[in-house]
Chain A
Amino acid sequence: MASKYSDQANSRFGEIIITTLEGVPGKEIIEHFGLVQGSTIRAKHVGRDIMAGLKNLVGGELKGYTELLQEARKEAVERMLQQANFVGANAVVNVRFATSSVAQGAAELFAYGTAVKVQ
């Protein structure tokens, strides 16, 4: 049974199921391991910043930033999965994401959930 968080196919922890639900459909939780989390802080680089500044004139999507944050979020999820893997979980349930800007030009991407063992 494959779990696919968009690019999870090439994740090292591809077999860990991630859901925003409180359980995994069709399976039963047999053990709780508690909270697992992953976070990363990324800053924009100057080239992208200049491009975004130009794009700011006409509005709309800032593709460079979207990509940057997607990459960063992937990293955060990966770290969360690493923790889950460490405690021996095979699923992470009730996953939530949070983003906060910690400094000028830097953002923290944060993912957390509950590591469980399902059967």
Chain B
Amino acid sequence: MDLIFLVILLGVGYFVGSYLEKKHYQDIKKRERQTLHVPVVTFGAKQAIPHGNEAALFLGSVVVSADYFKMFASSLRNLVGGRVVVYESVLDRGRREAILRMKEQAISWGATQVVNVRLETSTVGSQSGGKGLAAIEVTAYGTGIR
């Protein structure tokens, strides 16, 4: 009985999870193409910026979690160690989404570039007694210049 329940959870996690992931990636790629004209750079603190420009802080954040299947797969992975491929895409999506949110805000303000961008990743309290990857927050922030 428990086994059936587990298989159902795994199945739902796998199929719905990978469908949502595929859709999210399509969305990310589309928005990345749309915002390609505004460069996002991690330097800028020590560069001189042309006189008369305006600057403002922009921030994008997202909390992501892995699906049930990925948690299960990674707990198996834990036995032998090595690359946890299933989690890589979760964090990749989160990071790209956070950068996009920051960028889109900056663009609507009229920014021509976003400089001195910093990325931050943190765990925000785990559920189910700290087992598995619960919720990861990715933050991207930088200074928009127009």
Which of chain A's residues have a CB closer than 8 A to the CB of B55?
3, 17, 19, 21, 24-25
Dominant secondary structure of chain A at its interface with chain B:
mixed
User: Range of interface residues on chain A?
Assistant: 35 or more
> Quick check: is A31 within 8 A (CB to CB) of the other chain?
no
Contact among B68, B115, B141 for A97, CB-based, below 8 A: B141
Contact among B17, B56, B105 for A3, CB-based, below 8 A: B56
Please state if B105 and A97 are interface contacts (CB–CB under 8 Å). Answer: no
Known A-B contacts A21-B116, A99-B122, A106-B125; A62 and B65 likewise in contact (beta carbons under 8 Å): yes
Contact among B16, B50, B63, B135 for A58, CB-based, below 8 A: B16
Known A-B contacts A19-B143, A21-B115, A60-B24; A100 and B122 likewise in contact (beta carbons under 8 Å): yes
Binding site for B on A (CB under 8 A): 1-6, 8, 17-22, 24-26, 44, 49, 52-53, 55-63, 65-66, 69-70, 73, 94-101, 103-107
**What are 5 contact pairs spanning A and B, CB under 8 A?**
A3-B55, A4-B109, A25-B50, A99-B139, A100-B122
